[in-house]
Homo-oligomer: A and B are copies of this chain.
Amino acid sequence: MFQIEILMAGKKENNTDIQLNLDEKDLGILKLLQEDAKMTIRDIARQLNLSTTPVYERIRKMEQAGVIKQYAAIVDPRKINKSLTVLCYITLKEHNKKCGRKFIQEILSFTEVTECLNISGEFDFMIKVQVKDMDEYREFYVNKLGELDNLSHTQSIFVISVIKATHQVVF
């Protein structure tokens, strides 16, 4: 069992620690922008029965406070030849701080890894790997992951089908 919290503790990647009290209007704005970041302030205002000013200011505040982390174009992996998704579970041999940090650093450098979670249970980490096909996965597994020197054991679970995939956390 390896808890990475300690390692990340110093890393304040949050823009600020400002904790906003988000009300219904803020959540309404977020809901719309999560669906379509290209919506204009005017349209948002219209849908929420507000004028542009409050919408404008609320968005600005939420951007500054880090509530809105980024605006991103979401790309369909299948359309760019990255159709295979693999969940790879990893347990480390050594669990001390130094080794954990090294592992994280190396994992972060692998572009195939789109997600890395420190988890409870049998394994220490789950990484999500996005590749073209099985050949490319083997290549990754053998030559990148396999080169790390702190792995105890791993397990690869293959994604057969994506039923749902969203970034929306506001309901």
Q: Which residues in A have some Cβ–Cβ distance to B below 8 Å?
A: 3-5, 8, 14, 19-20, 22, 27, 30, 33-38, 65-80, 82, 85, 87, 104, 107-108, 111, 113-121, 125-126, 130, 155, 157-171
Contact = CB atoms under 8 A, between A and B. Distances in A.
B80 A163 contact: no
A67 B77 CA distance: 8
Contacts of A115: 164-166
Contacts of A30: 73, 75, 80
Contact of A163 (B65, B68, B71, B108): B108
Closest 8 A/B residue pairs (Cβ): A33-B73, A116-B163, A116-B164, A118-B161, A37-B71, A111-B171, A120-B158, A67-B79
Interface of A is mostly: mixed
A73 to B, nearest CB: 4
Assembly stoichiometry (copies): 2
Given A37-B37, A72-B72, A114-B167, A159 B65 contact: no
Given A114-B166, A157-B121, A161-B4, A67 B76 contact: yes
20 contacts: A3-B160, A19-B79, A22-B80, A34-B75, A35-B70, A37-B38, A67-B79, A67-B80, A69-B75, A72-B72, A72-B74, A80-B170, A111-B171, A116-B163, A117-B160, A118-B163, A119-B160, A120-B160, A121-B157, A121-B158
A30 B164 CA distance: 22
Contacts of A107: 163-164
